[in-house]
A and B are shown apart, each in its own frame.
Chain A
Amino acid sequence: MSPLLAAQGLGLRFGTVIALDDVAVEIWPGEVVAIVGESGSGKTTLLRVLSGMMPPQAGRVLYRDPEGGQHSLFDMPEIALRRLHRSDWGFVYQNPRDGLRLGISAGGNIGERLMAAGHRNYGHIRAIAAEWLARVEIDPGRIDTLPRNFSGGMQQRLQIARTLVTSPRLVFMDEPTGGLDVSVQARLLDMIRGLVAELDLAVLLVTHDISAARLLAHRIVVMQQGRVVEAGLTDRVLDDPQHPYTQLLTTSVLSA
């Protein structure tokens, strides 16, 4: 076995602000990795770099395809990277409006990725869409409803269904529970947790919510000012933090 994604020596600065400073991360099949840190720590920038959306100024990101071939992410042609984002990878945005077409029905939103993958049978696409709605706990009877009429939690669940329908191996999630009510967050986290285990997904999750990281992640990467200050097994990093910043982070949370 080898990692799905491996980054080494990532560096990126915006003017005088250091966003990434010699960052290395690996994600292995079936593994959930949470990147935690406060806003401005560079975690969202790291997610954008690892998912190929933003090139770093230093370092490289290696992607391994399902056949085992290694690709340097930023040397891939754009067409290949885009295809990757629609097949083997998925991206769940914090704001569902960024990941959904609000003027297209729920079924159409799920179907789009299937059609991009070459599905051309309406009945089949619709059946898969209905099945995925049920899996993310949305009444399949609402398949023709526009997502702008959904609650925030439902929109986020729809975004997850749309992302997972093509069976990606690696999913990037940017604060997937941000902006939701606490009760809605718990339900969503729980649903993600179940799907991740069931589908054996690798997930790279960016969050500032330590309890979400504890619930979902196998490993944690703690970032501060563009650097990885601590990384390891989730429960060890949270229960026995070594770095001053991690200690601050874990003691700032009520019963994580």
Chain B
Amino acid sequence: MTTAAGYNFGYLDENSKRMIRRALLKAVAVPGYQVPFGSREMPLPYGWGTGGIQVTASIIGPDDVLKVIDQGADDTTNAVSIRRFFAKVAGVATTERTAEASIIQTRHRVPEAPLREGQILVYQVPMPEPMFRLEPRLAETRKLHALADYSIMHIKFYEDIARTGHIATSYNYPVMVDDRYLMSPSPIPSFDNPKLHRMPALQLFGAGREKRIYAVPPYTKVRSLDFEDHPFQPIRADGTCALCGSRESYLDEIVTDDRGGRMFICSDTDYCGTRAAGQEAAE
């Protein structure tokens, strides 16, 4: 184990980690419930994944293999620096392969490859409260959670349909966890919502600025909110990945020139790369 000198393993001191683990245990015990925790100062600004990093720092061990993605990609600045951070302060192995990772910290995506038991998916959450745009008073939203009164969320969807003919929410699409708590899945595309349902891996959510942790234990029921006659529909660009040819994965649109040229490529770089390599090998 090679940890940078002067730092405790995983950067956080042991008392902070214990405090966060207690919050995590509570979060797992009450799926979807936002547990307050004493968010610590981290060596990067709020909005860069301080919540996710604290969760990862509290659960990571020397034998873990860490993967970090930002918008599905392993090679973006944020993902690279967080991966380097943990390599430095915990000395753990890192990977870009979904299947090889024991902990995957993510911003804005769920990997395309199905996760398995024993893996942990850590989400970076900017705003844990799904109703915050509808009900600005936090004391009131807490009460609404306590009473399981989520009609204002449905009003939002009602207004969407009245205005546009469909539910216009395409990311951060709220879900009901275990038929009890309304939860923000973090700003993942609604395309990823079905993956949360009965996922074999443990899902942990950390919001650093808002000081909240919540969790979805393995195999928990996660249902996207909808109307009977306007059922939930995951949104995906109608296209094919220019690199691997996938018609199933979530696509990013890339503008290639200033004459309207564009292409679609997989947002999940590991998924795309694995597929492309497989195709080359087959040829």
Contacts and interface: CB of A to CB of B under 8 A. Distances in A.
Interface of A: 78-79, 82-83, 101, 104-105, 107-108, 111-113, 115-116, 120-126, 143-144
A144 B160 CA distance: 11
Given A82-B147, A120-B154, A105 B162 contact: yes
Contacts of B226: 120
A127 to B, nearest CB: 11
A115 B161 CA distance: 15
Contacts of A143: 162
A111 B156 CA distance: 11
Contacts of A113: 151
Please list the 8 inter-chain residue pairs (A to B) with the smallest Cβ-Cβ separation, ordered nearest first.
A116-B151, A122-B227, A115-B154, A115-B151, A121-B228, A108-B155, A123-B229, A79-B147
Contacts of A101: 155
**Of A113, A115, A123, most B-chain CB atoms within 10 Å:** A115
Interface in B189-242: 226-230
A88 to B, nearest CB: 16
B175 to A, nearest CB: 15
B163 interface: yes
B229 A111 contact: no
Given A82-B147, A107-B158, A112 B152 contact: yes
A120 B228 CA distance: 6
B230 A122 contact: yes
A104 B147 contact: no
Given A104-B155, A111-B154, A120-B154, 16 more contacts: A79-B146, A105-B159, A107-B158, A112-B152, A112-B154, A113-B151, A115-B158, A120-B226, A121-B227, A122-B158, A122-B161, A122-B228, A122-B230, A123-B229, A126-B162, A144-B162
A115 B152 CA distance: 8
11 contacts: A82-B149, A107-B162, A108-B155, A108-B162, A111-B154, A112-B154, A112-B155, A115-B158, A122-B158, A122-B229, A125-B158
Interface of chain B, helix or strand or loop or mixed?
A: helix
Given A105-B159, A108-B162, A121 B229 contact: yes
Contacts of A111: 154-155, 158
A101 B154 CA distance: 14
A230 B80 CA distance: 79
Contact of A144 (B147, B163, B229): B163
Contact of B158 (A78, A79, A108, A116): A108
B149 A108 contact: no
Contacts of B146: 79
A143 B161 CA distance: 13
A112 B151 contact: yes
A128 to B, nearest CB: 12
A105 B146 CA distance: 27
Contacts of A116: 149, 151
Contacts of A121: 227-229
A116 B158 CA distance: 13
**Of A83, A112, A122, most B-chain CB atoms within 10 Å:** A122
A240 B229 CA distance: 58
B137 to A, nearest CB: 14
Interface in B138-194: 146-147, 149, 151-152, 154-155, 158-159, 161-163
A83 B159 CA distance: 23
Contacts of B161: 122
A125 B159 CA distance: 12
Contacts of A112: 151-152, 154-155
Contacts of A122: 158, 161, 227-230
Nearest to B159: A108
Contacts of A82: 147, 149
Nearest to A77: B147
A115 B150 CA distance: 9
Contacts of A104: 155, 159
A111 B155 CA distance: 7
Contacts of B159: 104-105, 108
Nearest to A146: B159
Nearest to B167: A122
A248 to B, nearest CB: 43
A116 B155 CA distance: 10
Interface in B231-262: none
Contacts of A105: 159, 162
A120 B147 contact: no
A124 B226 CA distance: 14
A143 B146 CA distance: 31
